[in-house]
């Protein structure tokens, strides 16, 4: 199992996509973790939902990942 940690206050990038793609290619279980959530500015009740939508758009092939 892999815990793939990204910084919540930074945009995901091509390197993140390549690493996650390699993890998926090898059939390893994966959980995506957003670290440094406290540094995300101007949070409101929909921020988490928007962030999750962004994750899912960036990694569409991981629709099953929590």
Q: What is the pLDDT of residue 41?
A: 86
User: Region 42-66: what's the mean pLDDT?
Assistant: 84
Q: What is the pLDDT of residue 3?
A: 92
The reported pTM is 0.71
- Beta 30-35 vs 2-7: how paired, if at all? parallel
pLDDT reading at 66 higher than 80: no
Count of Cβ atoms closer than 10 Å to residue 59 Cβ: 19
Burial 10-38 (b: 16+ CB within 10 A, else e): eebeeebeeebeebeeeeeebebeeeeee
- Round to whole Å and give the CA distance between 50 and 25: 27
Query: Tokens at residue 10, please?
Result: 């930074």
Q: What is the pLDDT of residue 55?
A: 83
Give the pLDDT confidence of 8-47 residue by residue, as tens digits: 888 888 898 889 888 888 988 888 888 998 898 888 889 8
């Amino acid at each position: 199992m892999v815990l793939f940690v990204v910084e919540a206050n930074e945009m995901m990038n091509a390197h993140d996509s390549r690493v996650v793609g390699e993890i998926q290619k090898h059939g390893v279980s994966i959980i995506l973790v957003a670290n440094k959530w406290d540094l995300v500015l101007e949070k409101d009740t929909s921020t988490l939902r928007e962030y999750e939508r962004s994750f899912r758009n960036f990694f569409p092939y991981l629709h099953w990942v929590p």
